[in-house]
Amino acid sequence: MKKFLIIVCAGDNSYHKKWFNSNVYDIYTIYFGNNESIADKFEKKSDFFLRMKGPKWQLIRYVLKNFEWKEYKYIWMPDDDLDITKKKVEDFLNISDKLNLNISQPSLRVPEVTIKEQIDTLARWKKIQKEAELQGKYVSWFSYYKKNTNPITENMKVYISHKILMQEYPSRKKAVRYTNFVEIMCPLLKNFVVKKMFKFMDSDIVQSGFYLDSIWSHLVKYKKVAVIDYISAIHTRPVGVFKSFKNKEKTGNFKVLTIDPKKEVMIQKKRYRKKIPKHYKKTLRTVFLNDKKKDEINLRKKSRKKSRKKSRS
């Protein structure tokens, strides 16, 4: 029995086709397209397969109600537009397990922007934020973007909703950022979190999935929630809207929704009952897994403890 189950709602151009044939996880593909050839390929290569249409979180709801998933230690529920290699997926899952995380996700990148360009842009914004904080002010991403509009910041605006989830450090540093937020795009949830969350997923109103990501972090009291910064996925489609201001049409994944996400959030807040305090989505602390000095200090501490125990005995 494998530790990890990936449930992915896949269209014709799904990137999850890169992840097949792993010894680390099982893939449950829910194909919502109409192409018989693609359906056949997905079915043959998936560990489990279903053809069904609807919003992502309704399809996942169906699987959780009709499939024996409780033997898996972790469930990953990524969107199908994330460009990430099978090796990185396996590394992401394994390190999340090794760190015993309750909730996690890989960091995010945007198309046509290098890692260095992205990291440098985020660093400049954070520097301005810190300077503003000394004056008791706050500089949001939108405020920074308005004064620094260029092809890089434009892509970041179009492809990523929550900038806190973007890769902030060079991969060689092996950074893991403990945060107070992991979004609905690609959450990895520990088994017990899925069990607790299911009652909030098990409803016809759950279509966009909005507010689920506020609930699950609050449920675990923001403990062991992290972004695996050094392992990133490129978000290849622009973030959708329920109704655009120009043509009043739904775009992206919002096309299949029948409920306004704002209304969905209001209903979910009532269903959850507990009040979630307003807070900024932020990194709480960062650890670097290749920090050899820290590892040496920890080893020394362990050896001292062992020697003390021996001397006492």
- 269-292 confidence digits (pLDDT tens): 999 989 998 888 999 999 999 876
Task: Check pLDDT > 80 for residue 306.
Answer: no
pLDDT of residue 256: 78
Which tens digit of pLDDT belongs to each residue from 169-215?
A: 999 999 999 999 999 999 999 999 999 999 999 999 999 999 999 99
Alpha helices in the chain (DSSP H): 36-45, 56-66, 86-98, 115-133, 141-147, 151-159, 191-201, 212-219, 261-272, 292-312
**Cα gap 179→99, rounded to integer Å:** 14
**Average confidence score pLDDT of the chain:** 91
Confidence of residue 246 (pLDDT cuts 50, 70, 90): low
pLDDT of residue 73: 98
Which tens digit of pLDDT belongs to each residue from 28-51?
A: 999 999 999 999 999 999 999 999
DSSP designation for 177: E
Task: Check pLDDT > 90 for residue 304.
Answer: no
**Cα gap 251→135, rounded to integer Å:** 40
Phi, psi dihedrals of residue 226, rounded to the nearest 5°: -150, 155
Q: Which residues are within 8 A (CB) of 85 and not within 5 positions of it... i.e. 6 or more apart?
A: 18
On whether the 4-110+160-296 domain is CATH 3.40.50, my answer is no
pLDDT of residue 296: 45
Task: Check pLDDT > 50 for residue 266.
Answer: yes
Domain ranges of the chain: 4-110+160-296
Confidence of residue 104 (pLDDT cuts 50, 70, 90): very high
Pairing of strands 25-31, 4-10: parallel
- Among 123-132, 157-166, 248-257, the minimum mean pLDDT is found in 248-257
